[in-house]
Amino acid sequence: MNNFTIAVLVRNQFGVLNRVTSMFRRRRFNINSLTVSETESPGLSRITVSSSGLETDKKQLINQLYKLPDVCSIKELDITESVTCELMLIKVKNDPESRADVRDAASAFGAKTLDYTRESIIMRLTGTTRELDAFTDLMRDYTILEICRTGIVSLERGSTTIRKMEI
């Protein structure tokens, strides 16, 4: 089992996300993270999928994506050859006993405090999935009230782009 990340450019059509996720569901692909966003061109959206599986699962996933008419291009993003990050908002209990520890951890990870009340603190952290996981794990020592994560976004290093279809 390996983790892999695939970027997909799709036609910005009504229901396109449903088409992609419906295919994942019926073919039983295991999706760890999925993000959809606008791109540099108004007609196209970019989907970043992170999944895990065998090499054959990955090939099958790419080939099945390729068959969807709304899909314009697909690229597997090599971890070392791409820049990847994810954003997390985390709300923890503001407890006088642990307040200082929470702040220390936040500053060590570079998390920014966005909301501070007597009862709670909301922090924002961007980084790799691993960093976000590690920070979440630390916060488990205190009281986590809520977490919201965006899923990963990723771009290749250098000037190459996804535009050329690679299968």
User: Given the rule CB under 8 A, which residues bind another protein?
Assistant: 14-15, 18-19, 22-23, 26, 56, 59-60, 63-64, 66-70, 167
Closer residue to another protein, CB minimum distance, 68 or 145: 68
Closer residue to another protein, CB minimum distance, 63 or 113: 63
Closer residue to another protein, CB minimum distance, 40 or 55: 55
Residue 129: phi and psi, rounded to 5, are -55, -40
Q: How far is the CB of 24 from another protein (least distance, A)?
A: 11
**What is the distance between the alpha carbons of residues 56 and 71, in angstroms, rounded to a whole number?**
20
Which residues make beta-bridge pairs with 91?
A: 122, 146
Could you tell me the two tokens for 164?
Answer: 């050329």
Residue 58 CA, chain-centre distance (Å), reads 18
Q: How far is the CB of 160 from another protein (least distance, A)?
A: 21
**What is the distance between the alpha carbons of residues 127 and 129, in angstroms, rounded to a whole number?**
7
Q: What is the CA radius of gyration of the chain?
A: 19
Q: How far is the CB of 162 from another protein (least distance, A)?
A: 19
- Say which amino acid occupies 18: N
Q: How far is the CB of 14 from another protein (least distance, A)?
A: 7
Closer residue to another protein, CB minimum distance, 10 or 102: 10
